[in-house]
Amino acid sequence: MKQSDSRLIGVAGDLNILAQKYPGGAKTPVLCIPGLTRNASDFDDLAPKIAAAGRDVITVSLRGRGRSDRDPDYLNYHPEIYRDDILSVLDAFGVRQAIFVGTSLGGIVTMVTHGTAPERIRAAVLNDVGPELAPEGIARIAGYVGAGGGPAASLEEAAERIQAINGVAFPDASDAEWLVFARRTFRETATGEWVLDYDPNIARALMERGPAPDLWPAFESMNKTPTLVLRGALSDLLSPEIVGKMRDAHPTFDYAEVPRIGHAPMMTEPVAWAALDKFLTKIN
């Protein structure tokens, strides 16, 4: 595979956000958008698999995450701002239309984008998220965002913290997998400590502005757009009841449930990858 192309791309507010392109081929490219406190590294395993099947993949760290700039105005941590950032990324890479793959917040950004710029989305993958969010999932997320408890002394300690929060969602994860999870969630400082790799002010924005605007109109606008919905079988954010309501609004979307996984699948799990690969093969 050709070497990936990592760029800092200017967006509104005089900020730069990190995007990485994995060259794969001439088919419609894929844009991967991560969850609330996550960054582009979540797709380090998924992006090469998609690229190997013949299409370019762009992964992005939203403002305030990873190597992307933090916003001095925390109220800009909102899906409508992220939508504009994502469109700037596509423009920077000269991409007119992409297949959006969004995990959690990334799926919310996908729906918001479709609501105002549907021509930019050839197809959509909503990973463990829908236009309605289960209250128990929102409460759990609100309870940990921004509550890092100070720096961790080692990567192993960081992994223990991550496992304490997410163990219920990944009951079969190994110690080695928790270390990978921690490395993608924390960053090492010059003093050797490990700190969460996102702006804690994201928690303030979540509390003051809420997780998203009303998403049902945007989701309903997708009923002619090829869509795959993935759900972790243990998810507390996307319930079977919400999936049923989604089916009423968009009867033709593809669907797969990933066993023994909560919020949210990494999409490299065998069931998730099989569904995603099958879905992508239907789109040029």
| pLDDT value of position 147 | 66
Cβ within 8 Å of residue 35, ≥6 positions away: 42, 103, 104, 105, 106, 264
> pLDDT confidence of 143, banded at 50, 70, 90?
confident
pLDDT at 150: 87
pLDDT exceeds cutoff 70 at 3: no
- pLDDT number for residue 97: 98
- The per-residue pLDDT for 45 is 97
Residue 138, pLDDT score? 87
79-102 pLDDT per residue, tens: 999 999 999 999 999 999 999 999
Spatial CB neighbours of 66, under 8 Å, sequence gap ≥ 6: 18, 39, 40, 41, 187, 197, 198
Could you tell me what percent of the chain has a pLDDT over 90? 90
At 2 the pLDDT is: 66
Residue 114: partners with Cβ closer than 8 Å, 6 or more residues away: 100, 121, 124, 218, 221, 222, 225
pLDDT at position 41: 97
Number of other CB atoms surrounding residue 272 within 10 Å = 26
Task: For the chain, give the percent of residues with pLDDT over 70.
Answer: 98
Task: Report yes or no: 71 and 84 within 8 Å, Cβ to Cβ.
Answer: no
pLDDT (0 to 100) of residue 1: 53
CATH no. for 5-134+211-281: 3.40.50.1820
Contact at 8 Å (CB) between 57 and 109?
Answer: no
Q: Annotate 109-124 with DSSP letters as a single string.
A: HHHHHHHH-GGGEEEE
Residue 189 near residue 148 (C-beta atoms within 8 A): no
Which pTM value belongs to this model? Answer: 0.96
- Of residues 31 and 213, more confidence is placed in 31
Residues 26-51: pLDDT tens digits?
999 999 999 999 999 999 999 999 99
Residue type, position 132, single letter:
E
pLDDT recorded at residue 148: 60
127-137 residue pLDDT tens: 999 999 999 99
* Torsion sign over Cα 84, 85, 91, 97: negative
Q: What is the pLDDT of residue 259?
A: 98
Concatenating the DSSP letter of every residue in 169-231 gives T-TT--HHHHHHHHHHHEEE-TTS-EEESB-THHHHHHHHH-S-S--HHHHHTTTTS-EEEEE
DSSP letter, residue 149: -
Higher pLDDT, 213 or 278: 278
Per-residue pLDDT reduced to its tens digit, 215-259:
999 999 999 999 999 999 999 999 999 999 999 999 999 999 999
